[in-house]
Amino acid sequence: MSILFEPVTFGNLEIKNRFMRSATYYALADDDGFIGDESVALMENLASSDVGLIITGYAYIQKNGQCFADMNGIYKDGHIPGFQKMTGAVHDLDGKIVMQIAHGGVNATHVAQTGGDWVAVSAGKDPSGDGPKPRELTAEEIETIIDAFGQAAGRVQEAGFDGVQIHGAHGYLVTQFLSPQTNHREDKWGGSLENRMRFAVETCRAMRSQVDDDFPIMIKLGCRDYSQSDDRLTIEDGVAVVKALEAEGVCHIEISHGIVAGPEGKNSRGITTPEQEAYMLPDAQAVRSATDMPLGLVGGMRSLAVMEDIVQSGTVDTLSLCRPLIREPDLIKQWATGRSTSADCISCGRCFGQKGDRAVIMCSQVTSEDSKGR
């Protein structure tokens, strides 16, 4: 049997294979973050398709951290019953599911567009142009957000999830604290790397205080910025953050990127050859050189041969996919039974921004000719 279909354990969580469904916004909640039957059915389908671990689309932990009008929410107890229905459906199919939680910070675009309390780590203009400016968080408000992450983690456990994952990548609030490009504070939350990582460390502690000692706390971490800025977060910085979070009891880190800008950006579109796959692998290798903790990798993986080599090398323990599972929901089963050795998905991007089944419809319009050579 391929190593990809062997079980793996991190914390007290054992999953049946090495495949994770990477957290992806799927636009099915209402304006207050409440989910319905469509969201439950989506997770249920992933469980029935033998995905080892499902990570939900991110849920905001405070109203001023809401990025989209139809983004999941976990900022009040009223959200718990809907998510209990979701976890129950997944567990009935012997699946495992973790919720990703987040605060958008300056990237809380829904808050900005609706005239809400738009906040940032440091004051500055709208990054998309000359629009209104977010206001800088006070030290007291930072503590409040940290507590909100903790309270949200408690709700995640009460809702029956198998763990919780912090969104610490892609330019959201944790990234904004870590990166010197966006963190210009002169108090204990800014300046040195130790200060800039304080928010992530204190958030982990707040979450641990609200859940059982063995409840898995994970993070999707942007280990470096991909930009030409002189003050970008470097991979050496990212490795230091990993080691600090490991000391706090984080049991799994999914390696991703931080801020992306300009020609340094990672190419996540048009993946048609094995050489284009696993574009975050060098960062994972750098992290692996400094830790033995369980690691995951996301980014452009499409073929079994590439993924087997990565896991066999010991660089990571799990592999994260999403877009391939939109085009081929039963992909993991196909691979397990030898019916396929690579995904049809070429990362065309047609599924982006589509709601529910609309993503599948848009993807299906890409013909087999488009994905030849896979």
Residues annotated as part of the active site:
172
User: With contact defined as beta carbons under 8 Å apart, do 207 and 102 qualify?
Assistant: no
User: With contact defined as beta carbons under 8 Å apart, do 156 and 168 qualify?
Assistant: no
Q: CA–CA separation, 208 vs 287, rounded Å?
A: 24
DSSP string, 154-169: HHHHHTT-S-EEEEE-
Tokens of 280: 């975050």
Spatial neighbors of 127 by CB under 8 A, at least 6 apart, are 106
Give the chain's end-to-end CA distance (angstroms, integer). Answer: 23
SS3 of 99, please? strand
DSSP string, 273-287: SGGGS-TTHHHHHHH
Spatial neighbors of 38 by CB under 8 A, at least 6 apart, are 28, 356
Tokens of 335: 């691979």
Tell me whether residue 138 is exposed, middle or buried, using C-beta atoms within 10 angstroms of its C-beta: 0 to 12, 13 to 18, 19 or more. Answer: exposed
